[in-house]
Structure 1
Amino acid sequence: AVLKGLKKVKTTATWIPWSYERLSFESGYGAGVVSPAWYELLFEKRPEAATRWMVKVARMLRKEDVGTSSAHIIEAIRLAEALAAMRGLPLPGIDELREAAISTICEGDEEKMLLVERELLRGASVGKVPQHLKLPTVALLQDIEKEVKSCRLSKYWESPGESWLGATAANPTGGIDLRSESGKRKSVLLHRLSLLDIHWGRRVELSRHHSAGGFLEHWKLHWQPDFIIQIIEAATWGNTLEEACIHYLNRKVFEQESLPQLTALLQQVLDADLPSVLPPLLRKLDNISALSTDVFELMEALPPLVSVARYGNTRGTDVSAVEAVIRHLVPRIFIGLPAA
């Protein structure tokens, strides 16, 4: 009855890849399991599941600089099997394995286990939608793929391994020149993806020469299979990359009350070339700085603003509004310093 009389709207449906993150109970999926990674191991290597799980625990803890030995693993397996026998279980379950690992490998320190527990229990496996199905993709993914192609970065997209953007035999670290239109577009694309927590590219500062005021940016690109899922999740913010970033940032500006974090956000806005977000962000900065009585917070917020005012026009951005905020901020810092 509620829907009666409403106009019909065309919709499309698609498939998204499964992931252990989504299959886990902690993700909010009511029918999820506690540990997808454990059940995969149990299904494929049932007789050796406990041993393999303990070895995995030890390897992961070693990566976190927690010393483990073969003796730790052997004792942990024995303890897990003993716990299972006491509880009338044919094999140790995830609870027995966890308790045994904490008691032996972690030497009773549960905090050590917490270092690896998320990855250990959930796992990082991600499925793939068969290409031959030719299913429609979400609009945001289509727009990102279009931008990637337009920026001539297709060879890096869905490419395994880590690569320096623009690397050559003569220049192994590559780099993009922000003075060129193509370089600027590549930089904007990577910064916008990073804003949405899709970290395909990681900016690397090679030296002080390539600092905020330089025209050269160096990026390492590393494709991850779960980027597709992250893009689908980010599609709630908009159908294009620019639109999604604007809506996401406007929400961040609305929620953020910390002056230093707002100034950090300002640099991200400029890097991502999203001028429409600047007015509300600068108004929020001005309002919070006017009400703040914490001189140390004001001082912490100043350097990023000065950096923006000094180097913001690397991309041709008008920074006069930022300079106005600085002019309001500096006198208040001077006034507050004697009492600090």
Structure 2
Amino acid sequence: MGHNDVAYFGIRHHGPGSADSLVQALQDLQPGAVLIEGPIDASALLPLLARPEMQPPVALLCYPEEDPASTSFWPFAEFSPEYQAVLWAVDNKAALRFIDLPSSARFSEAAVEGAEKVDAGEAKEASERDDVAPHRRDPIGTLARAAGYEDGESWWSDIIEQNPEPGPIFAAISDAMMTLRDGEGSIAEFEAQREAHMRLEIAAARKEFDGPIAVVCGAWHVPALQATHTQKNDQVLLKGIARRKSTMTWAPWTGPRLALGYGYGAGVVAPGWCKHLWRTRGRRDAATLWLAMIAAVLRVKGHLVSTASLIEAERLARTLAAIRERPKPGFEELRDAAIAALFNGEALLWALVEAELLLGADVGEIPPDTPLAPLIEDLQRNQKAARLKPEALERELSVDLRSDSGLFRSTLLHRLNVLGVHWGKLTDAGRSRGTFRERWTLTWEPEYAVRLVENLIYGPTIEKAANGRLIQMIEAAATLDTLAALVQGAITAGLSEASTAGLAALEARAARSSECLEILASVPPLADIIRYGEARKTETNRLSGLMERLIVEGAIALPYAARDLDEQAAATLASVMRKADEAIRLVEPGEDVLNGWRNGLAAVLEGSRATALLAGCAAHLLYEAGRLSA
């Protein structure tokens, strides 16, 4: 095969126009092999993308077996050119593989400066260093400014995404990138290694396959892949690259995490807009449908939007496009027209629809038989059992701990919080309405899959990993109040091993502690466990004895701890005193314990060396308890 039999398609990551043009180009070329920029050791997982059960957005997850915390992601949306290339290759029975460095190369120290964990497609060094030329940091932006545009998004939108007759766009992009890279000199070592590896894989594919070969990669790489390099020189570049055994799988992703504003270096400004462009490609009413979507969101939120206003918004968008010499209304024109005609000129109201429309709320799905990391697999089992579906948009959940299903849901969410997976955030433990209800706010973020992988070192299931991580935190706890909070978390999450270890550590620490502030600060979390333990069927006798001992010790130490404090220290102690008193009244300990606590407060009030703030705090608490008259 000759060199011309390899077709290079320089694309914009997650660009719907690029994806549409790419599919058309592949259909015309009919290649026998499709080579895609991505980790070569994950090639076997590519066909899974074409399965009907695989619903993007999803991400390829790769991590070294001995270090799950070093995880990289390669996200795919339905409008991603790489995703559409995979679908085309599978449908047309073309060979399909990744050609970039293996995922393990990104875990080595040499790659740390060259690749981001989440943005596995772009070089961090090239985007973050101040001394890098602007055209290196943002090649599309450079082309846009040369064409008279303010930003790269608008330029690419007109030339690629919304140009009805773009012409030989991939050849034009290749020429433009070649011009940008002329005289570039040396590039980051990791980037050079990536391009060398891709060249070698392309050369190997030319020997292996008959017929045309399609190479799908980021536009910036095309000139380097087309350039003539000897295989020997490329092999020298790759010498010494660390290779470790990696575990790879697919994980659900979310629409918002495809956004540039969420820290994804290869992301787009508005994933929801890109999805709309993809789904309405070739339609004349795409602008009308977008405005209708804006109106629908506004109506759901209680705003009145008339049909006349929609018609006026569309007319205004087309007028703006003509004034700005754009081929048809783009995102900016539709936004400005909507603000003027639908929001009565109130630009701040745009925030009402921004998250829902521009970022979207899509959460991907993967086939049930996809090989997963053990913790992700266990989470999916638990989600199914709890009948909780991960959603990108925030929603509220109220659980009744008296029911088995409510207790199961609560326990799952608490265990995930222990692992740093804050899918659910507890907003109200229901104390004002009884002890058996919790109110949660649920929002699923794709990085939670990364957190689960990082926690594999603690165990293969949610329960075992949460136990293991909490035990490690208990062993590292330096103060009594920290230990008490960890024990509270262990019991709330139903983690028996961590609870046992925590109680033992708490008792040992309490026996050694003489710090009043530390002792009193440990009382509220223990009181919570005792007071609300019934809802979780928790045995509290052992805790009750420990807490009563701590109350007495704290009361004895309090008058001495209150002496000669500065303003800040006095305020801190006063706050701890109030919280401890509230907790003590909550659990209603024995009369002797209660009297001991109040005697400690009285000693602070009567002492001559306590600040006015602390004396006043003690007086207030005694007055509320009926031990001090007005």
What TM-score, normalized by structure 1, do the two folds share?
0.62
Q: Any stretches of 5+ residues in structure 2 without a counterpart?
A: 1-107, 111-238, 555-575, 582-600, 605-613, 621-630
CA distance in 2, matches of 1:117, 1:265: 39
SS in 2 for 1:238: helix
Structure 1 match to 2:422:
197
Deviations 1:131-190 (CA, angstroms, capped at 9, x unpaired):
5xx5420121233356x39xxx64836699x9x999xxxxxx99525xxxx986664224
Work out which of the residue numbers 478, 494, 510 in structure 2 matches 1:273.
Answer: 494
SS in 2 for 1:15: strand
Pair 1:238-2:455 in alignment: yes
Pair 1:141-2:373 in alignment: no
Pair 1:33-2:233 in alignment: no
CA distance in 2, matches of 1:21, 1:241: 26
Structure number, greater radius of gyration: 2
One-letter amino acid matched to 1:189: L
Whether contact under 8 Å (1:51, 1:77) holds in the other structure is yes
Pair 1:85-2:322 in alignment: yes
SS in 2 for 1:92: coil
Whether contact under 8 Å (1:237, 1:248) holds in the other structure is no
Deviations 1:317-339 (CA, angstroms, capped at 9, x unpaired):
55446666766444787663727
CA distance in 2, matches of 1:238, 1:84: 51
Q: CA distance change for structure 1 residues 315 and 123 in 2, over 3 Å: closer, same or farther?
A: same
Worse-superposed segment, 311-320 or 12-21: 311-320
Deviations 1:262-296 (CA, angstroms, capped at 9, x unpaired):
9999865542134367869xx9xx999939xxxxx
SS in 2 for 1:116: helix
Whether contact under 8 Å (2:386, 2:408) holds in the other structure is no
Pair 1:176-2:403 in alignment: yes
Residue correspondence of structure 1 range 69-218 to structure 2 within 5 A? 69-131=306-368, 134-145=369-380, 148=382, 154=385, 156=387, 176-177=403-404, 187-193=410-416, 196-199=421-424, 208=433, 211-212=434-435, 214=436
Structure 2 match to 1:13:
248
CA distance in 1, matches of 2:515, 2:261: 36
CA distance in 2, matches of 1:94, 1:50: 9
CA distance in 1, matches of 2:380, 2:240: 38
CA distance in 1, matches of 2:364, 2:314: 31
The structure whose residues are more often strand, as a share, is: 2
Task: Give the CA deviation at 1:82.
Answer: 1.7
CA distance in 2, matches of 1:197, 1:174: 20
CA distance in 2, matches of 1:102, 1:123: 19
Structure 1 match to 2:616:
338
One-letter amino acid matched to 1:27: Y
One-letter amino acid matched to 1:83: L
CA distance in 2, matches of 1:27, 1:337: 50
CA distance in 1, matches of 2:335, 2:551: 53
One-letter amino acid matched to 1:56: M
Structure 2 match to 1:290:
517
Task: Give the CA deviation at 1:117.
Answer: 0.6
One-letter amino acid matched to 2:273: W
CA distance in 2, matches of 1:112, 1:266: 45
Q: Any stretches of 5+ residues in structure 1 without a counterpart?
A: 167-172, 292-297
Q: Count residues with an aligned counterpart.
A: 295
* Percent identity for Structure 1 against Structure 2: 33
CA distance in 2, matches of 1:267, 1:154: 25
Pair 1:49-2:286 in alignment: yes
What TM-score, normalized by structure 2, do the two folds share?
0.37
CA distance in 1, matches of 2:429, 2:363: 28
CA distance in 2, matches of 1:290, 1:127: 48
Task: Give the CA deviation at 1:13.
Answer: 0.9
One-letter amino acid matched to 1:138: A
Structure 1 match to 2:151:
none
Task: Give the CA deviation at 1:88.
Answer: 0.8
Work out which of the residue numbers 293, 296, 300 in structure 2 matches 1:59.
Answer: 296
Q: CA distance change for structure 1 residues 250 and 50 in 2, over 3 Å: closer, same or farther?
A: farther
CA distance in 1, matches of 2:464, 2:250: 23
Q: CA distance change for structure 1 residues 311 and 136 in 2, over 3 Å: closer, same or farther?
A: same
Deviations 1:90-134 (CA, angstroms, capped at 9, x unpaired):
222112222222233222323321132122101122333345xx5
CA distance in 2, matches of 1:203, 1:57: 33
One-letter amino acid matched to 1:232: A
CA RMSD after TM alignment: 5.3
One-letter amino acid matched to 1:310: R
